[in-house]
Amino acid sequence: MEDQLTAYINATVYTPQGVLQEGRMIVNQAGAIVAVGDIELALPDGVDIVDLTGCTVLPGFIDVHVHGGGGHQMMDGTYEGLDGMSRYHAAHGTTSFLATTGTDAQDRLCRALANAAAGINQGVSGAEVLGIHLEGPYIDFKRSGAQKRDYIRLPQRDELALFLAAAEDHIKLVTLAPEVEGGMETVRWLIERGITVSIGHSNATYEEVCEAVALGARHTTHHFNGMSPFHHREPGVAGAGLMLPQLTTELIADGIHVHPAAAKFLFQTKGAANVCMITDAVRCAGMPDGIYGHVKVENGTVTLLDGSSLAGSTLTTIQAFRNMLEFTGLPPEAILPSLTEVPARQIGVSERKGSIAPGKDADFLVTDARWDIHSTFVKGKKVYGR
């Protein structure tokens, strides 16, 4: 049977080569992009045509650090929880993500990891689950933030092997504190297994970060948050992330976790190619103000009940995009890599994700001029529309 093609035409299309006016994108039945071009791109006979006059097509956003949303959370350890968060974030700009854990007991972590692996294998109905981000439990007590302090522990090789097995090798990213006992050896062990190591919830010195980078660490977790701050006599993790070109820095661009001026400074210092925008969204993202278990939401800010720490965010990727346009004054094409190409690179999926280009998965957003999402496509399939 001949492959049926669909052509999306007359849109403003953002590609790595530039912005196409009256752009055209051809997608096959398998959900891959066949061709991208302007009005001169010839359309094959018999192609299905979708006219997107007045609309913009953006590459789908990839979130490598997201715990939940819409009343669901990865640590629920259920398919319904994973699928629910995939649908919620698909409606808000995310086409693929890493299901992210929190520091917890071994049995609960194994259950959540096994459930995420099953969800990856089965597939979900919203944004695609690309893998798992293991945030903790091997972090520094001094920089625990909202992580469960009772379950913070030193790295244990046997336990890590248990986690990898439960996750069926779907762990793509691990956040840890390299300065704790056994931390550097764990960095080396994870790198040998092709897993990206992120320095986070860490009180490391600049020199300790340099040692971890020499071993292969290439990422920082929610930069400026949950880490030793920059000081002119001790640059800490925050300063190391700014100064070391090997490190890509995560950014929660909600204007709460990081001041807009500091977010702009991070972009000016690192460049979009070394900033990985994330949501760090939790279960109550998209929910009304109120108390949700051990956290509360007030005016979109999530904190522990006692107000002692921020506890994730209610941010979405499309709002992060809008925010950074406002915070930096940069054009959309200067911001987009931090939501698309950079996260794809950091977790090793650039060959099929991260841009609108031939051969890539047809993951894209259709928006209006105000960046309101009309529809979200994952591998050529509409998973959200309004």
CA geometry: angle at 296 spanning 291 and 299, to 5°?
110
Phi, psi of 70, deg, nearest 5: 65, 25
Alpha helices in 157-315 (DSSP H): 157-166, 183-192, 206-215, 236-243, 260-270
Is 76 a residue of the active site? no
Measured CA to CA, the distance from residue 85 to residue 104 in angstroms comes to 20
Q: Mean per-residue pLDDT for 120-128?
A: 98
Q: How many domains does the chain have?
A: 2
Per DSSP bridges, beta strands 364-367 and 56-59 are: antiparallel
Measure the CA–CA gap between 199 and 182, rounded to whole angstroms.
14
- What's the first-to-final CA gap in the chain, in angstroms? 32
| Catalytic entry in 280, 306, 363, 372 | 280
**Do 257 and 316 have their domain in common?**
yes
Statement to judge: residues 136 and 178 lie in one domain: yes
Identify the CATH number of the domain in which residue 249 sits: 3.20.20.140
Give the H/E segment covering residue 6: strand 6-15
pLDDT, tens digit (0-9, with 9 covering 90-100), for 178-221:
999 999 999 999 999 999 999 999 999 999 999 999 999 999 99
CB atoms within 10 A of CB 332: 16
Q: What pLDDT does 139 receive?
A: 98
Is residue 217 a part of any domain in this protein?
yes
Can you give the residue range of the structural domain that contains 43?
A: 6-58+355-385
Same domain, 176 and 79: yes
Structure tokens at 302: 């999530």
Is residue 27 in a domain?
A: yes
- Whether 1 maps to a domain, the answer reads no
Q: What is the pLDDT of residues 263-306, one digit of tens each?
A: 999 999 999 999 999 999 999 999 999 999 999 999 999 999 99
Q: Per-residue confidence at 252, pLDDT binned at 50, 70, 90?
A: very high
Contacts of 138 (CB under 8 A, 6+ apart): 152, 153, 154, 155, 176, 177, 180, 182, 183, 186
Query: Which of 117, 123, 108 minimizes the C-alpha distance to 166?
Result: 117
Nearest one of 144, 130, 141 to 100, comparing CA atoms: 130
> In one letter, which amino acid is 332?
P
Q: Are residues 342 and 205 in the same domain?
A: yes
Residues 134 and 259 in one domain: yes
Band the pLDDT of 1: cuts 50, 70, 90: very low
Residue 358: pLDDT over 60: yes
Q: What whole-number percentage of the chain has pLDDT above 90?
A: 99
132 located within any domain: yes
- Residues 246 and 201: their CA atoms lie apart, in Å, by 19
- Asked if the structure places residue 184 within a domain, the reply is yes
| Cis preceding linkage at 137, omega within 30 | yes
Backbone angles phi, psi at 82, to 5 degrees: -65, -45
Residues 378 and 327 in one domain: no
Provide the percentage of residues in the chain whose pLDDT is more than 70.
99
Q: Are residues 12 and 98 in the same domain?
A: no
Same domain membership, residue 91 and residue 31: no
What is the spatial distance between Cα 246 and Cα 241, in angstroms, rounded to a whole number?
Answer: 9
Measured between alpha carbons, how far is residue 70 from residues 26, 270, 311 in Å? 33, 32, 16
14 and 128 share a domain?
no
Neighbouring C-alpha atoms within 13 Å toward the C-beta of 322: 15
pLDDT range class, residue 2, cuts 50, 70, 90: low
Rg of the chain on CA atoms, in Å: 20
366: CATH? 2.30.40.10
Does this model's pTM top 0.75? yes
Q: Average pLDDT, stretch 344-357?
A: 98
Distances 271 to 149, 245, 351 between C-alpha atoms, Å:
34, 10, 22
The verdict on 328 and 359 lying in the same domain is no
The answer on 337 and 286 residing in a single domain is: yes
Residue 245 lies in a domain: yes
Tokens of 266: 């991070």
Q: Are the C-beta atoms of 97 and 119 separated by less than 8 Å?
A: no
Mean pLDDT, rounded, of the chain: 97
Question: Is the CB of residue 342 less than 8 Å from the CB of residue 271?
Answer: no
34, containing H or E segment: strand 33-37
The pLDDT value recorded for residue 3 is 85
Domain co-membership, 214 together with 303: yes
8 A C-beta contact, residue 244 and residue 209: yes
Per-residue pLDDT of 318-332, as tens digits, reads 999 999 999 999 999
